[in-house]
Amino acid sequence: MRTSIRLIFTFYKSFALASNLITISCLYLISLYGEKAIHIIEELILFKIFTLAVIFYYIHSYKKDEFYYYKNLGLTKKHLWISTLAFDFVLFLILFFLTLKR
């Protein structure tokens, strides 16, 4: 179990910088506009989902050889993607709602 979590974290690090920059920019917009940002919440969530799709395409296309490493250690592509994208999106939502409450 620890090995799987460590491998998933290693995989997440390959795109964490880009994903976290998008999250931070969305949170900045929410904190900048405050209560007036209610009308752009849907757009920001869709923007985050769209950027996750772009990241998925990039990693899946250009780093496809790295998946053999994870497969040899017992993790499938599906497991890697579901766990990392779910973690990233849940982290985004938690930070998003915490920023809104401020």
**Domain extent listing, the chain:** 15-101
Determine the pLDDT at residue 42. Answer: 83
Distance CA 82, CA 50 (A): 16
Distance CA 22, CA 97 (A): 16
Determine the pLDDT at residue 50. Answer: 95
Question: pLDDT tens digits for 46-63?
Answer: 999 999 999 999 998 988
Question: pLDDT tens digits for 13-43?
Answer: 999 999 999 999 989 988 888 767 677 888 8
Dihedrals phi, psi of 53, to nearest 5 degrees: -65, -40
> Contact, 99 vs 31, CB < 8 A?
yes
Dihedral, 3, 6, 57, 93 alpha carbons, nearest 10: 120
Is 80 exceeded by the pLDDT of residue 11? Answer: yes
Average pLDDT of the chain is 89
Distance CA 39, CA 35 (A): 9
Residue keyed to tokens 């009308």 = 39
Confidence of residue 82 (pLDDT cuts 50, 70, 90): very high
